[in-house]
């Protein structure tokens, strides 16, 4: 997850992610339109979309986190396992375990495959790491 660069500083190494064309388009628009209200997470989501491999909308992405996916993930620091559904902000409801893609966890999960882990920074500037355990679309 982290590696040390030539200057001795720790860098986050991000796993490859895959997103369908329509979702990439919608998520880029969401990141852009949310930049003023939620600058950090909007920037993170935009960065994730920039580095994503974008595939045709009719691609078979079994085991890849997409919008509407039910995801089981493990918080690598605490060992807590959580089940959530990744949704657009207007559908979010934490009591129903519906997590917005416009949150640090949601933006981190999009495009990951089962078994992949990602490290990211929280709004409080702490590092957090998640591993995807299962995905159902």
Six-digit token string for 67:
């919008």
Whole-number Å distance between alpha carbons of 66 and 96: 18
For residue 102, tell me if it sits in a domain. Answer: yes
Question: For the chain, percent helix, then strand, then coil, each to nearest 5?
Answer: 30, 35, 40
Work out how many domains the chain is built from and give that number.
Answer: 1
13, part of any domain: no
pLDDT tops 70 at residue 1: no
Confidence of residue 7 (pLDDT cuts 50, 70, 90): low
Has residue 88 been placed in a domain? yes
The mean pLDDT value for 116-135 works out to: 91
Going by pLDDT thresholds of 50, 70 and 90, the confidence category of residue 121 is confident
Q: Residue 110: which domain range?
A: 18-136
| Mean pLDDT over each residue of the chain, to the nearest integer | 91
User: Cα 31 to chain center, whole Å?
Assistant: 13
Which stretches of 21-133 are DSSP H helices?
21-33, 39-51, 104-109
């Amino acid at each position: 997850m982290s590696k040390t660069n030539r200057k001795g500083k720790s860098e986050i190494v991000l796993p490859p992610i895959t997103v369908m064309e329509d979702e990439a388009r919608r998520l880029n628009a969401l990141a852009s339109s949310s930049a003023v209200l939620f600058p950090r997470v909007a920037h993170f989501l935009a960065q994730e979309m920039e580095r994503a491999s974008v595939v045709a909308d009719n691609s078979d992405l079994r085991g890849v986190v997409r919008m509407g996916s039910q995801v089981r993930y493990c918080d690598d620091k605490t060992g807590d396992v959580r089940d959530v559904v990744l949704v657009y902000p207007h559908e979010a409801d934490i009591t129903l375990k519906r997590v917005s893609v416009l949150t640090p966890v949601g933006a981190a999960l999009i495009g990951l495959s089962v078994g992949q882990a990602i490290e990211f920074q929280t709004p409080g500037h702490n590092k957090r790491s998640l591993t995807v355990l299962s995905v159902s679309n």
